[in-house]
Chain A
Amino acid sequence: DTEVTQTPKHLVMGMTNKKSLKCEQHMGHRAMYWYKQKAKKPPELMFVYSYEKLSINESVPSRFSPECPNSSLLNLHLHALQPEDSALYLCASSQAGGGAGETQYFGPGTRLLVL
């Protein structure tokens, strides 16, 4: 099973709202990732967790707050977003510690619209 699941599939929120995106994998992977993808563009890395510790934060604004409660779950908490944050948010996971050459398996994404 190489499935990464994400909920919700779609989310509409106002700029004062607080919401969360959820990602789950049951492949025993120890690295998990959040990406942001704008239309017709490649994914942009936001955060990486390795063995449940935050390893990479690509200078993401603090209105995005990641959380890794356990090795299977990854959350992205959203607060006071801007309309330009509207995008497809992709979660991915990889087997070991996220070293080079590891295959990243992507979820279907959450399409976020900020009004």
Chain B
Amino acid sequence: AQSVTQLGSHVSVSEGALVLLRCNYSSSVPPYLFWYVQYPNQGLQLLLKYTSAATLVKGINDFEAEFKKSETSFHLTKPSAHMSDAAEYFCAVSDGINDYKLSFGAGTTVTVRA
């Protein structure tokens, strides 16, 4: 069965510092991996998606993620945090076996300190 684990339920960074959010997946087949962001009182917005075309995936708002098969990881990074990056971030996996179903991680709350 597919699943993801997000390490760290809460991350606090200073404005301008690196943002690193960790996601490890479990899947019996090559997965499709997603990062979504949810700002307060809003729906989920896709940041980026891995579909095996390239291991380094660039997304919106300067976010990127690297797929590492050997480590079963898909960590999300942003070089310089902005105050507007404060939000909930979800990693999700779809493995091609369970159509329609995204398995979400528990989420990581990011706070940005001025």
A residues touching B (Cβ–Cβ < 8 Å)?
A: 4, 6, 31, 33, 40-43, 45, 48, 50, 55-56, 90, 92, 94, 97-109, 111
From A43, A48, A55, A94, B104 is in contact (CB under 8 Å) with: A43
Min CB gap A79→B, angstroms: 25
Asked if B100 and A98 make an inter-chain contact with CB atoms under 8 angstroms apart, the answer reads yes
Residue of B nearest to A56 (CB): B100
Residues of B within 8 A of A99 (CB): 96, 99-100
Count of A-B residue pairs with CB < 8 Å: 62
The 8 A-B pairs with the shortest beta carbon distances in the complex, nearest first, are A42-B104, A100-B96, A98-B100, A101-B32, A106-B43, A106-B44, A108-B43, A48-B100
Residues of B within 8 A of A6 (CB): 43
Beyond the given pairs A101-B96, A106-B44, 20 more chain A to chain B contacts, judged by CB atoms under 8 angstroms and listed by A's residue number, are A33-B100, A42-B105, A42-B107, A43-B44, A43-B90, A48-B100, A56-B100, A56-B101, A90-B43, A92-B44, A99-B96, A100-B32, A100-B95, A100-B97, A100-B99, A101-B32, A101-B51, A102-B94, A103-B46, A107-B43
Asked if B45 and A106 make an inter-chain contact with CB atoms under 8 angstroms apart, the answer reads yes
Asked if B49 is an interface residue, CB under 8 A from chain A, the answer is yes
Interface residues of B in 43-67 (CB under 8 A from A): 43-46, 49, 51
**How far is B46's CA from A21's CA once the two chains are assembled, in angstroms?**
23
Residues of A within 8 A of B43 (CB): 4, 6, 90, 106-109
**How far is B3's CA from A40's CA once the two chains are assembled, in angstroms?**
18
**How far is B38's CA from A90's CA once the two chains are assembled, in angstroms?**
12
Residue of A nearest to B88 (CB): A40
17 A-B pairs, CB-CB below 8 angstroms? A40-B88, A42-B106, A42-B107, A43-B44, A45-B100, A56-B100, A90-B43, A94-B100, A98-B100, A99-B99, A100-B98, A101-B51, A101-B94, A103-B34, A106-B44, A108-B42, A109-B43
